[in-house]
């Protein structure tokens, strides 16, 4: 599938920012906030920016020349309900999760956060529509770095949003496209991914930031899903299990799929890209097993 499969060559209508749920923590005008973006993160749910894209947030916190714009595509109404969220109906839970996301943007010093508030079902079944919604925002941001979900994620909504992010970026003129794009692991680890497709993102200096950002989402952490502990535990595991014959190079790391080739080259089909990585993983795994198998 190429970007041409989803749109014609006409430029989209300019986005009316007054019609979007845009929050700018430092109060500059919305258009100015988007125009300064260097790093754009496109995720499925409230808290994915913080739990999945922590490396992006941390990179922008560490560098005053970088600005992070987060785009959250769905409203989070379908999340597990327990604890403080046990008795909330959909509308109340959406309001709580929206407020949590705004608080996280303030804490993380984001350049902006945009909440599209789609239902998860709509995001999964109307990727074309989601691409249409994302494209004009990306044209305003013109970010250097694109961060999203990896295309081998086990969560269907994550995959839909990651694919929409890639296809929306491919609609931009080449000079305006991100020069780097990564899909960070979420509902499936990426330690299996062949080295040529895998990006290691050092989060050793973001431990406190990650904990603080995750704590802003009590509706999730108190609902029987300790995403904060799981996400940090995975980052520690990635660092330790990266290399069996050497001391750890970093304390924590997130793993990502390098999506730069897919964003920069329309001839690369996203489905074939992932399928190729899976075939390579299978080949590497069976070759390793074969190498230690006794002769028969």
d(CA 110, CA 180): 19
What pLDDT shows up at residue 8? 41
Per-position pLDDT tens, the chain of length 296: 433 434 444 566 778 888 999 999 999 999 999 999 999 999 999 999 999 999 999 999 999 999 999 999 999 898 877 777 778 889 999 999 999 999 999 999 999 999 999 999 999 999 999 999 999 999 999 999 999 999 999 999 999 999 999 999 999 999 999 999 999 999 999 999 999 999 999 999 999 999 999 999 999 887 778 999 999 999 999 999 999 999 999 999 999 999 999 999 999 999 999 999 999 999 999 999 999 999 88
Beta strands in 160-211 (DSSP E): 180-184, 198-202
Task: For residue 67, give the nearest of 100, 38, 46, 93 by alpha carbon.
Answer: 38
CATH code of the domain made up of 19-280: 3.40.50.10320
Phi, psi (rounded to 5 degrees) for 175? -65, -20
> pLDDT value at position 121?
97
What are the tens digits of pLDDT across the range 37-49? 999 999 999 999 9
- Express the helix, strand and coil content of the chain in percent, nearest 5 each: 50, 15, 35
* Residue-wise pLDDT tens digits, 111-167: 999 999 999 999 999 999 999 999 999 999 999 999 999 999 999 999 999 999 999
Predicted TM-score (pTM) of this structure: 0.93
CA separation, residue 153 to residues 57, 66, 129, 227, 252 (Å): 20, 27, 21, 16, 20
Extents of the domains making up the chain:
19-280
pLDDT at 10 (0 to 100): 52
What pLDDT sits at residue 152?
98
- Which residue carries 């808290």 as its tokens? 47
Measure the CA–CA gap between 24 and 36, rounded to whole angstroms.
12
């Amino acid at each position: 599938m190429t970007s041409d499969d989803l749109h014609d060559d006409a430029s989209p209508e300019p986005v009316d920012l007054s019609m979007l749920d845009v929050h700018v923590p430092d109060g500059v005008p919305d258009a100015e906030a988007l125009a300064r973006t260097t790093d754009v993160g496109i995720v499925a749910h409230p808290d994915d920016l913080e739990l999945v894209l922590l490396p992006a947030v941390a990179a922008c916190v560490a560098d005053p020349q970088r600005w992070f714009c987060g785009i959250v595509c769905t409203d989070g109404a379908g999340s597990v309900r327990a604890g403080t969220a046990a008795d909330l109906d959909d509308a109340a839970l959406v309001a709580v999760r929206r407020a949590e996301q705004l608080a996280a943007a303030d804490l993380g010093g984001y350049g902006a956060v945009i909440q599209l508030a789609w239902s998860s079902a709509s995001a999964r079944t109307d990727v074309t529509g989601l691409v249409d919604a994302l494209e004009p925002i990306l044209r305003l941001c013109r970010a250097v770095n694109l961060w999203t979900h990896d295309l081998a994620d086990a969560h269907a909504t994550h995959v839909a949003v990651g694919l929409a992010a890639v296809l929306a970026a491919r609609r931009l003129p080449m000079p305006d496209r991100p020069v780097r794009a990564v899909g960070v692991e979420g509902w499936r680890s990426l330690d299996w991914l062949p080295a040529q497709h895998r990006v290691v993102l050092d989060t050793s200096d973001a431990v406190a930031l990650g904990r603080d950002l995750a704590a802003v989402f009590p509706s999730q952490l108190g609902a029987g899903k300790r995403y904060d502990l799981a996400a940090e535990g995975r980052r520690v595991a990635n660092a330790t299990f990266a290399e069996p014959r050497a001391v750890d190079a970093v304390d924590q790391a997130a793993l990502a799929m390098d999506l730069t080739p897919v964003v920069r080259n329309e001839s690369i089909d996203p489905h074939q890209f992932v399928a190729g990585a899976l075939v390579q993983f299978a080949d590497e795994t069976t070759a390793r097993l074969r190498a230690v198998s006794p002769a028969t």
